[in-house]
Amino acid sequence: MTQIALLGLILFAYISPVLALNDAQQLVVESWRLVNQSYVDSYRFKEIDWKDLRQKALEKTIENSEQAYKAIEAMLLPLGDPYTKFLRPSDYSMLKSSTEGNVNGVGIQLGARSSDGHIVVIAPLEGSPAAEAGLISGTEIFEVDGESVDKLGLEATAARLRGQSGSQVVIKAILPMNSRNSSQAKSDHQNVTEFVLDRQQIDLHPVQSSILTANEQKIGYIQITQFSEGVSEQVIKALNEINKQNVEMLIVDLRNNSGGLVNAGLEIANQLLDKGTIVETVNRDGISETIQSSKNQLFTGPMITIVNRGTASAGEILAGALQDNNRSQLIGGQTFGKGLIQSLISLGDGSGLTVTVARYMTPQGRDIQKLGITPDYLLALPEPLNPGEDKDLWLSNSKILLELSKKSTNKIN
């Protein structure tokens, strides 16, 4: 009698937390399960007592989303992987829309001015609320919604400008000399102008292409700032155009391309390589997969690829594939060093997870995690604020090298 009752009790005690899980607790359990089934390094689970972390997370009071979010963050922290992380709804939607090639904001790219470190507009995106209001390149930003940008810093200032489409943001700024008038702006002190902008969905235009000239030679220039949806199609279109115009040489600019969709990077490598290994991925069971490029190479001429510290992830997959196949020399700065691949997972309540699901190696078997890729030509020049423009010395150097490499191949042939 007693024994059965006891067993019943134990059973009850064991099952009850599962049965009684509220929505917030379920979010925690679901996050644990998703990471459990896909995280790249299952050995790590033993080291950090992964099962116990789930238990510990559920012992806390979890009755609302905020408590669930905190519990998930605390649970993932011991993994020690900055790329396996919880994304609050605003971060999740931002990442999701950036993989779709757009962002909700006002359409300006910000940077720190090299002379004094002040935050300035690098360029407004065409047709964006910022461009229409007259925020031009060189405009110095002072305040966003009443907060000083000195306190916020570059990243947080950029984050404050993003937000739901339709919402408003107030910017105080100083326009560069000789351009201090705009119908929508009202001046409060002498030079500081206040802008009230409506945020909207902004197309990031991650692919820009043009045809440059150097010593009467035509050079195709394709700048890819992110691998979002549709990017490989846009690059293919640009390459077709370059071929149509009989342009013999190509510069691919991957500066500050922090990655995005791995498939977009693979597809572009496929267009530039003539049969060869693009990358080797290794999943959590240690199973490696080699991805080969097909024989149909869209562009066959000499090329050079510009990289920098901001070139990461899928950007490094592409750069590594081009370098290891001797297809393109790299010029610029050491790349970031992200040799891990993540999945983006929606948790259904607006939040989400990124989970590292695989590692990758370049065709010659280099693991670039935390190391990055060293370009063939390291440039010690200051980074230009507006890449692709006239004063971009990295680009001028690339042109020179490309011409030289073309001459030397001609000689050999």
Catalytically annotated residues: 313, 324, 338
State which of positions 361-400 bind ligand NAG (CB under 6 A).
383-385, 387
* Alpha-carbon distance values, 152 to 33, 143, 197 (Å): 36, 9, 19
Rounded Cα–Cα distance for residues 289 and 96 (Å): 27
Among 61, 190, 215, 413, binds ligand NAG (CB under 6 A): 190
Question: Rounded to the nearest whole angstrom, what is the least distance from the CB of residue 14 to ligand NAG in the complex?
Answer: 14
Q: Does residue 30 belong to the site contacting ligand NAG (CB under 6 A)?
A: no
Other beta carbons within 10 Å of 143: 19
Query: 3-class SS at 227?
Result: strand
**Which of 139, 103, 107 has its CA nearest to residue 121?**
139
> 22 or 181, CB closer to ligand NAG?
181
In 77-120, which residue ranges form alpha helices assigned H by DSSP? 89-99
191 binds ligand NAG (CB under 6 A): yes
Among 111, 138, 163, 176, binds ligand NAG (CB under 6 A): 111
Instruction: Tell me whether residue 6 or residue 393 sits nearer to ligand NAG (CB atom).
Output: 393
User: What six digits make up the tokens of 24?
Assistant: 């917030």
Segment interacting with ligand NAG, rule: CB under 6 A, options 140-148, 183-191, 290-298, 345-353: 183-191
Pairwise CA distance, residues 274 & 327, whole Å: 9
Residue pair 335/368 in contact by the 8 Å Cβ criterion = yes
Q: How many other CB atoms are found less than 10 A from the CB of residue 299? A: 22
Closest by alpha carbon to 251, among 217, 223, 215, 214?
A: 223
For residue 327, the tally of other CB atoms under 10 A from its CB is: 19
Told to check if 172 binds ligand NAG by CB under 6 A, we report: no
- Does the protein bind ligand NAG through residue 151 (CB under 6 A)? no
Query: CB of 178: closest distance to ligand NAG in angstroms?
Result: 7
Decide if residue 33 touches ligand NAG (CB under 6 A): yes
Site for ligand NAG in 219-258 (CB under 6 A): 255-256
As given in the structure block, the two tokens for residue 396 are 């001028």
Q: How far is CA 63 from CA 71, 110, 143, in A?
A: 11, 39, 37
**Which residue lies nearer to ligand NAG by CB, 2 or 326?**
326
Residue 181 in contact with ligand NAG, rule: CB under 6 A: yes
Which one of residues 78, 176, 301, 310 is an interface residue with ligand NAG (CB under 6 A)?
310
Residue 138 lies near ligand NAG (rule: CB under 6 A): no
- Residues binding ligand NAG (CB under 6 A): 33, 36-37, 111, 179, 181, 189-191, 255-256, 310, 325-326, 383-385, 387
